[in-house]
Amino acid sequence: MKFDNHIRRSGPAMLGAAMLAFSVNPVSAEDITVTSFGGIWETAIKDCFASEFEKRTGSKANVLIGSPAQWMSQIEANPDNPPIDVIVTTQSQTMAAGEGGLISRATAKEVPNLADVDPIFIKAVDGWGACFDFGAFILAYNKDTIKNPPKSIKEFVDRTIKGDWMATMPSVSYAIAPDIIWSFADLYGGSADNVDPAFAVFKQLKDSGNMISWSSVTDFLNQMSTGDADIGMYWDGRAYAFIDKGNDWMGVIKPTDKAFMSCVAMNKAKGAPDAAWDYLNIVFEPGPQACFSDHLKYGVTNQKVQYSEEMKNRVTWPKDLRAPNVSTSRKIAQNAADWIERWNKEIGF
Amino acid sequence: MTDQVRRGTSRGFSGVVSPWWIAVTALFLVVFFVIPIINNLLNTDQLVTLAKQRPASFYYEKLFTDPYYLGIVADTVTLSVGVTVICIIIGYPVALFLVRHAGRWSGLVIFLLIAPLLTSIIMRTFGWRVLFARRGLLNDFLLWIDAIEKPILFLNGPTSAVIGLVHVLVPFMVLSIASVLRSIDLQLEESARILGASRFKTFLKVTFPLSLDGIGTGFIIVFLLANGSFVTLLLLGGGELKTLPLLIYQQFTISRDFQFAAAMSNVLLAIAVGCLYLQLRLIKRKGVKG
Amino acid sequence: MSSNNNTDRQSLELVLRGISKRFGDVVALEPSDLVVKPGVLLSLLGPSGCGKTTTLRVIAGFEAADTGSVLIGGKDVTLLPPNKRGLGMVFQNYSLFPHMTVADNVAFGLRMEKASEQEIKRRVGEMLDLVQLPGVEKRFPNQLSGGQQQRIALARSLVTNPSVLLLDEPLGALDKNLRETMQFELRRIQNTLGITTILVTHDQEEALTLSDQVVVMDQGRFQQIGTPSEVYESPETRFVSEFLGTSNLLSGDISAPTDSDDRKVTLQYGEVKTVIESPGAPSIPAGPATIAIRPEKIVLSKRSPEMRNVLQGIVKGHVFRGSYHAYEISVAGRDDPIFVYDQAGERSTDAVHPIGSGVYLTWKRENSVVLRD
Amino acid sequence: MLIYVVLFFIFLLGPIFIVVSISFTETEFVAFPPQGFSWKWYQRFFEYEPFIDSFIVSVELAIATALLAVALGVPAALAVTRGRVPYANTIMTFLLSPLSMPLIVVGFALLFYLSALGLGVSFVSLLIAHTVISLPYVVRTVAGVYRGISPDYEESAAVLGANRMQIFWYVTLPMIKPGIFAGMLFAMLISIDNLPISFFFGSADTNTLPVVMLSYLEHQFDPSVAAASSIQLIVAIIGLFIVERIYGLDAMAPAS
């Protein structure tokens, strides 16, 4: 071996400065970055909102996949030049983002279509824009193993404790756990100030050994598919979408004692350009909303939306939903940490 | 100048490396690790949240006096130590095999060890879920051989979480132990055998003590990784098994109580750094040979 | 000495002046002086931890001495780094670079000097011839035996014509037979090149065989400096006499110095009082003292010889060791036995003095030496 | 012994095997054992832009991270091992300390900090964050290898007239090369599988594969995620083979 060869061979290991070659592609001023959850959510946002925005304005709407906690932190870290222009958030996150100064308050002036949105979906986020879609917690069950499904949440609870089936419910690690805790409290006679009734129920469910939990929407489908659970509380849109994919064995029951409701809001980040308003107006427009509903099988919030025949039967109408009012929502957000701590201590899954 | 005392002014030959070589790296870590962490801990009360605002002492008091949180801290340490010990026990023979018996296959063995690390943690965990499910392979098998009458709930408990963690971390342990075993002079073992020690005794009295250094290194890595992990716990433990990292994750994503998260991070960091320092001292004492 | 080379360095004198070194609270080397004449092979001999390696590392420049200076050929190199001192060094484990061929290893020093490739090729060939390993250029160190590696290490250290060669236990890793062969080899090469050489060893036989001069070290101190026969025959301290082979130590009382070189030492064993004459340094004060006598210097006889230094004893043990008989003799009133090596006569494996017989022990006065404790 | 080792590897590779086999199922949902055989989920991977884009980002990031971590980690590892550095123990602890911090905390803290520095949500930010957490692996591996190499080699070179840079370049570097490769490999593994940090720095241009996979998985669970996982595995295996070719995987467990 020549000495020089040896020198050459040891060379490349040290050169590490190539890193600066990679950098962010600059986005033109007109383009905006909007957000979405992954999978079919992303498809729906792209097909119904982003492409419509691009068609009308000629600018691009980049769709970013991720989660609200991540986006809020990103906006908060870069208040003057947020990497995100339109953020998707849950109810309590929307209020936190609004009061924390991360988002601009949208009214019918900036987003004309907000005028047609059912007011309960504006109140649900204390007027920080509005929810654009909503989900109801129905009971999804395995038709093969459960011939006589429960009619209501209370019946579901009782028969789970009795041991009629293996049941599953959202875990404390799921983003809207605090809302679910309040809903149970409300159902069993408590309130945002008194969640003891809810915890009494959770305790019984836990002790029965017949209840497990799911921590993501697909987690639930796995549990149902693998047989870990026979029945569970689940999002209506998700259940319908799953059934439509050929899973006839899954059945859905709208509980008679009001399904728990949760909705998703969309807002403009404070430092974002005005093009974001145009995008939001599309999001709240009847046509794109119907498109979204078709994709995700969820209810949407513009009252002028023409649902497909199928969706008309499926959507749980606002009057059948158990939803917190504004002051309750705030209390939920404030008490979330304490409730979760209590859940950790007393229930544990 | 003959008798002039020169101590301290000239240090002789200190090898190729200058102590200054640490400076850039240390500066990088200070700028991009230490300062951000400190900065973060000091400013958590200004973050956007609807959670109740309380003084930091409230959280520390809770962590150190509330039996529940003391339990969490204890569970965190127990889990990390437990997983580490299991990794040592099941990984040691593999390391021994790799160094002593694999011969020219050692490349393949190492490859197989690393392969699991190349897939996404999400999918690795998912593989376990399929195996452990109530109607999964494992239960089917146990039912088939009549070992059980009704499916066992493996998932969403400490068992599956520990198995998942061991699965992810045991390769690090094997590699750490193997690198030390490799440096042990075979003659030492041979002379012990010639002196009449049984195979087992030789292992116990010669090989094992000499390999403690590798176990120490493996212990650090596995302990620290276990100590900070939450994805496996989240996906396999079903929240049944609560540790500090998992609670921190909860605070970030659900209740947005950043102050509590910061307090828990500090406790976790203190545990980890304390353990790390202890281990390094131990290694230093045991491994000063040449 | 190869003189047809412009990189030749003359064989130079090495001087240590008041060198000392401490590591924390541990004194590795007391202030010491040493002069090594050009072309001399000097051994630093002593047990491990005696400071011999520290001394070598100070000469090489790996350790900075706390005090004193190092002079090579009259030039003060104390503050020069190792690569500027023009030395050659062979380490105990050879430390051949495993990722380089033999040729690249040997050529390393020349490449650092930016010698031409032609020159390098010629010098490497010369060196491999010198160490009697021609033709191994393309091999890697791990393809060579221990002895071969040793030779290559030597070739590598000599290729730049260093002014001083440092050898740190160079033969320690070899087995006994190979070690003896290499001792001769080393001496041959050193003689051929006439290079000033410092050898660190803990093997007294090696030191005595190889060196022109031996420095016996203990506890960071140069205990004695001299030719091999000087330090062997006339040890000055108890340590030197004990470290270099077997010695009988007799303790007694020394008289004050007189005009002559001789000192009178009174040995008192039980009732018996014997006066011994021995040469001793005038600096040794009167009082308790020890004298040392090598076992092979004692003559045994059945009848009282007509000499001055005579002790009486009884044979307690006997071993035949091929070239000599070893006796263990007890002297009344003395706890330790005295060892005597008696040259074996022709075909005699039997002891001349059977166990239990009484004998007289005697030696020439110049064969004993009074020691400093 | 052999039986034990075989069982061990069944344990280790079992879940991987399941994932890979699921990626070939014909069914719309994740099923094991897989039903039928089909490439359609691989097709889906290549058609679904976020998968491909994030995959490229992940690979670029892993390589850049490995290089930067080596450039920063190797000198520090050498100095701490044999540089007569005061408080070497404490400094080593410090260098390894990013290991001990929950990654989610590191990610969160760095997001705010780097944004304040003006780096924001960018590839450079991601690179810095990933380097911070990969550094300990490089330091540890290189220090392990270096500790096992006798100082005699460097001293030999010094006596032979080499200055510091020459010793480093001709002697030290070639001898620690196995450790550098192993460190780089570790750094890449850590980077490519990282979720808790990448999560905070996700943007349309900087989402990494795990971030996209998690988001996809949470909202639409079909076998394409298994296909994405398998592709990641294949690319990583190719990388491993390259390393094996250059240096041999034994470097992952250097004799120390």
Within a domain: residue A8?
no
Binary contact (C99, A3; C-beta < 8 A): no
Mean pLDDT of chain D: 85
The strand pairing partners of C317, in sequence order, are C328
Q: φ and ψ at B52, to 5 degrees? A: -60, 140
User: What's residue B285's pLDDT?
Assistant: 56
Q: How many domains does chain A have?
A: 2
User: Which chain B residue shows the shortest CA-CA distance from A219?
Assistant: B235
User: What's residue A1's pLDDT?
Assistant: 35
Between B176 and D65, the more confident residue is: D65
User: What's residue A25's pLDDT?
Assistant: 39
pLDDT tens sequence across A266-310: 999 998 999 999 999 999 999 999 999 999 999 999 999 999 888
**Reduced DSSP (H G I as helix, E B as strand, rest coil) percent helix, strand, coil of chain C, to 5:** 25, 35, 40
Q: In terms of domains, do A102 and A161 share one?
A: no
User: What's residue C265's pLDDT?
Assistant: 79
Q: What is the CATH number of the domain that holds D186?
A: 1.10.3720.10
Q: How far apart are CA D198 and CA D203, in angstroms?
A: 10
Binary contact (A37, D218; C-beta < 8 A): yes
Binary contact (D75, B124; C-beta < 8 A): no
Q: CA separation (Å) from D47 to A141, B252, D22, D24, D176?
A: 33, 33, 19, 16, 43
Within a domain: residue D1?
no
* Pick from C67, C69, C79: CB nearest B5: C67
- Average pLDDT of span A116-129: 89
**Reduced to 3 states, what is the DSSP secondary structure of residue C239?**
helix
Q: How far apart are CA D19 and CA B51, in angstroms?
A: 40
- Average pLDDT of span B198-212: 77
Within a domain: residue D145?
yes
Q: In terms of domains, do A173 and A203 share one?
A: yes
The strand pairing partners of A141, in sequence order, are A231, A251
* Pick from C61, C63, C67: CB nearest B4: C67
Q: Grade residue A78 by pLDDT with cuts at 50, 70 and 90.
A: confident
Q: How far apart are CA B204 and CA B210, in angstroms?
A: 10
Q: Which domain holds residue D64?
A: 49-251
The strand pairing partners of C67, in sequence order, are C20
User: Residue D89 pLDDT > 80, yes or no?
Assistant: no
- Average pLDDT of span B89-100: 90
pLDDT tens sequence across C125-151: 999 998 888 888 899 988 888 889 989
Q: What is the longest distance spanned by two Cα atoms in chain B?
A: 91
Binary contact (D104, B14; C-beta < 8 A): no
- Average pLDDT of span A135-150: 93
> Based on the number of CB atoms within 10 Å of its own CB, is A163 exposed (0-12), middle (13-18) or buried (19 or more)?
exposed
CB B188 within 8 A of CB B206: yes
- Average pLDDT of span A236-254: 91
- Indicate which of D45, D92, D133, D252 best probes the interface with B, i.e. most B CBs within 10 Å of its own CB: D252
**Reduced to 3 states, what is the DSSP secondary structure of residue B11?**
coil
User: Residue A177 pLDDT > 70, yes or no?
Assistant: yes
User: Residue C314 pLDDT > 80, yes or no?
Assistant: yes
Taking CA D240 as the corner, what is the angle to CA D235 and CA D241, rounded to the nearest 5 degrees? 100
Helices D103-116, D123-147: axis angle to 10 degrees equals: 130
* Pick from C22, C64, C67: CB nearest B3: C67
Domain ranges in chain B?
A: 75-289
Give percent of chain A with pLDDT exceeding 90.
48
pLDDT tens sequence across B276-288: 777 767 666 554 3
Taking CA C232 as the corner, what is the angle to CA C230 and CA C234, rounded to the nearest 5 degrees? 55
Find which of A4-13, A231-240, D28-37 is predicted with most confidence, using mean pLDDT. Answer: A231-240
**Reduced to 3 states, what is the DSSP secondary structure of residue C119?**
helix
For the record, the structure tokens of C142 come out as: 């791990």
- Average pLDDT of span C100-108: 92
Q: How far apart are CA B242 and CA A337, in angstroms?
A: 15
pLDDT tens sequence across C68-77: 999 998 889 9
Q: In terms of domains, do A233 and A270 share one?
A: no
Give percent of chain B with pLDDT exceeding 70.
85
Q: What is the CATH number of the domain that holds A194?
A: 3.40.190.10
Distance of CA D186 to the CA centre of its chain: 4
B155: which chain A residues are within 8 Å (Cβ-Cβ)?
212, 228
CB C305 within 8 A of CB C360: yes
User: Which chain B residue shows the shortest CA-CA distance from D134?
Assistant: B29
A3 touches chain C (CB under 8 A): yes
Q: How far apart are CA C247 and CA C295, in angstroms?
A: 6
User: What's residue B239's pLDDT?
Assistant: 65
User: What's residue A329's pLDDT?
Assistant: 82
DSSP secondary structure string for all residues of C28-93:
EEEEEEEEE-TT-EEEEE-STTSSHHHHHHHHHTSS--SEEEEEETTEE-TTS-GGGS-EEEE-TT
User: What's residue B289's pLDDT?
Assistant: 35
Q: In terms of domains, do A58 and A128 share one?
A: yes
For the record, the structure tokens of C39 come out as: 């072309």
Q: How many domains does chain D have?
A: 1
Q: What is the DSSP letter of D38?
A: -
User: What's residue B187's pLDDT?
Assistant: 66
For the record, the structure tokens of C288 come out as: 């308790």
**H-run or E-run covering A234:** strand A231-235
Q: What number does CATH give the domain C14-235?
A: 3.40.50.300
Q: In angstroms, what is the C-alpha Rg of chain B?
A: 24
Residues A316/A319/A322/A326 CA torsion (nearest 10 deg) = 120
Kindly list the residues of chain B whose beta carbon comes within 8 Å of any beta carbon in chain A: 47-52, 68, 129-130, 133-136, 153, 155-156, 234-235, 238-240, 242, 246-247, 249-257, 260
Q: How far apart are CA A294 and CA A299, in angstroms?
A: 9
pLDDT tens sequence across B209-260: 778 878 887 888 888 888 888 888 877 876 677 888 888 888 877 777 888 8
pLDDT tens sequence across B3-14: 344 443 345 566
SS3 sequence, B178-217?
A: HHHHHCCCHHHHHHHHHCCCCHHHHHHHHHHHHHHHHHHH
Find which of B115-124, C10-19, D244-253 is predicted with most confidence, using mean pLDDT. Answer: C10-19
Find tokens 């009458």 and name the residue.
B149
User: What's residue A250's pLDDT?
Assistant: 94
D221: which chain A residues are within 8 Å (Cβ-Cβ)?
39, 218, 221-222
- Average pLDDT of span D222-234: 86
User: What's residue B283's pLDDT?
Assistant: 61
B6 touches chain C (CB under 8 A): yes
Q: Grade residue D122 by pLDDT with cuts at 50, 70 and 90.
A: confident
pLDDT tens sequence across C230-251: 888 888 888 888 888 788 888 8
* Pick from B2, B4, B11: CB nearest C64: B11
Residue C148 to chain A, least CA–CA distance (Å): 20
User: Which chain C residue shows the shortest CA-CA distance from A4?
Assistant: C104
SS3 sequence, B138-185?
A: HHHHHHHCCCCCCCCCCCCCHHHHHHHHHHHHHHHHHHHHHHHHHCCC
pLDDT tens sequence across A29-46: 478 999 998 888 889 999
Mean pLDDT of chain C: 84
pLDDT tens sequence across D151-163: 889 999 998 988 8
The strand pairing partners of C157, in sequence order, are none
User: Which chain C residue shows the shortest CA-CA distance from A10?
Assistant: C99
Q: φ and ψ at B83, to 5 degrees? A: -60, -40
CB D192 within 8 A of CB D58: yes
Kindly list the residues of chain C whose beta carbon comes within 8 Å of any beta carbon in chain A: 99-101, 104, 107, 111
Q: In terms of domains, do A27 and A162 share one?
A: no
b/e string for D194-223 if b means 16 or more Cβ within 10 A? bbbbbbbbbbbbbbbbbbbbbbbbbbbbbb
D220 touches chain C (CB under 8 A): no
Mean pLDDT of chain A: 85
**Which architecture does CATH list for B75-289?**
Orthogonal Bundle (1.10)
Within a domain: residue D24?
no
Q: What is the ipTM of this complex?
A: 0.76
User: Residue A146 pLDDT > 50, yes or no?
Assistant: yes
Q: How far apart are CA D134 and CA C77, in angstroms?
A: 44
- Average pLDDT of span C202-223: 89
- Average pLDDT of span C203-225: 89
Mean pLDDT of chain B: 79
Any idea which of A156-165, A231-240, B124-133 has the lowest mean pLDDT? B124-133
Within a domain: residue A47?
yes
Within a domain: residue A256?
yes
Cβ neighbors of A11 (< 8 A, separation 6 or more) are: none
B20: which chain D residues are within 8 Å (Cβ-Cβ)?
79
Any idea which of A110-119, C267-276, D21-30 has the lowest mean pLDDT? C267-276
Q: Which domain holds residue A170?
A: 135-261+322-346
The strand pairing partners of C300, in sequence order, are C361
User: What's residue B40's pLDDT?
Assistant: 75
pTM of this structure: 0.80
D141 touches chain A (CB under 8 A): no
**Reduced to 3 states, what is the DSSP secondary structure of residue C225?**
strand
Binary contact (B123, D19; C-beta < 8 A): yes
Q: How far apart are CA B80 and CA B103, in angstroms?
A: 33
* Pick from D162, D174, D175: CB nearest C83: D162
Q: Grade residue B157 by pLDDT with cuts at 50, 70 and 90.
A: confident
Q: What number does CATH give the domain C246-370?
A: 2.40.50.100
- Average pLDDT of span C27-54: 90
CB C115 within 8 A of CB C7: yes
C265 touches chain D (CB under 8 A): no
User: What's residue A252's pLDDT?
Assistant: 94
CB C228 within 8 A of CB C218: no
- Average pLDDT of span A68-75: 88
For the record, the structure tokens of B244 come out as: 């500090």
Between A246 and A30, the more confident residue is: A246
- Average pLDDT of span A190-198: 92
Q: How far apart are CA C337 and CA C318, in angstroms?
A: 12
Binary contact (D124, A39; C-beta < 8 A): no
Any idea which of B142-146, C282-286, C302-306 has the lowest mean pLDDT? C282-286
- Indicate which of A31, A62, A73 best probes the interface with D, i.e. most D CBs within 10 Å of its own CB: A73
User: Which chain C residue shows the shortest CA-CA distance from B6?
Assistant: C66
Residue A163 to chain B, least CA–CA distance (Å): 14
CB B223 within 8 A of CB B80: yes
User: Residue B272 pLDDT > 60, yes or no?
Assistant: yes
User: Residue A23 pLDDT > 70, yes or no?
Assistant: no
Between D218 and D113, the more confident residue is: D113
Residue A322 to chain B, least CA–CA distance (Å): 21
